[in-house]
Amino acid sequence: MYNLVVGVIAGVIFGVLAVAGAWYGGAVYERARLRSELVAVAGQQQQIAAALDLYETNGGRVSSLGNDGASLTGLLESGFLEAVPPGTWRVRRGGEQIWNPLRIQTPEACASMNGLAGLPEICPPCDSETLKTYPACELPGNAA
């Protein structure tokens, strides 16, 4: 009987600890996921920027490549990119603006992502001029 009581108490303690870990650890895990996503996107953005710089150094005009997918296709065809990084990349103004509209589920996560980048914790609209500095933005309506 003693073993049964000890087993039940151990089960209850384990359950309480599991719920507490999920409750308090959830925010930590979410923040770590957002940080890893931010680091990956920043690295990919630097890769595209470096390819654009090399293209220009080699005598090409970045503005002649076009915007968005056309510029990335031009970099692929000319051999400056081996593969386009995953995601929907936007390239504007001759390579001055390079970003990937991140598909973040909530405005809070969007603001948190921007906070991780050292910017104010807001979620600007994607058609705003702040895209040069904010890694995450809010897509208008249900556009994705």
In a domain, 64, yes or no: yes
- Stated pTM of the model: 0.65
Going by pLDDT thresholds of 50, 70 and 90, the confidence category of residue 40 is confident
Radius of gyration of the chain (CA): 22
CA–CA separation, 56 and 3 (whole Å): 75
- Residue 126 in domain: no
pLDDT at 9: 92
Q: Domain limits at 78?
A: 2-100
Work out how many domains the chain is built from and give that number: 1
What average pLDDT does the structure give for the chain?
A: 80
What is the predicted pLDDT for the residue at 140?
64
140 to each of 69, 73, 105, 126, 143, how far by Cα in Å? 20, 26, 13, 7, 6
| pLDDT tens-place string over residues 61-100 | 877 777 777 888 888 888 888 988 887 888 877 777 777 7
Give percent of the chain with pLDDT exceeding 70. 89
Would residue 131 count as lying in a domain? no
Residue 132 included in any domain: no
* pLDDT tens digits for range 106-134: 788 888 888 888 888 888 887 776 666 77
Count the neighbouring beta carbons within 10 Å of the beta carbon of residue 101: 18
The answer as to whether 137 is a domain residue is no
In a domain, 24, yes or no: yes
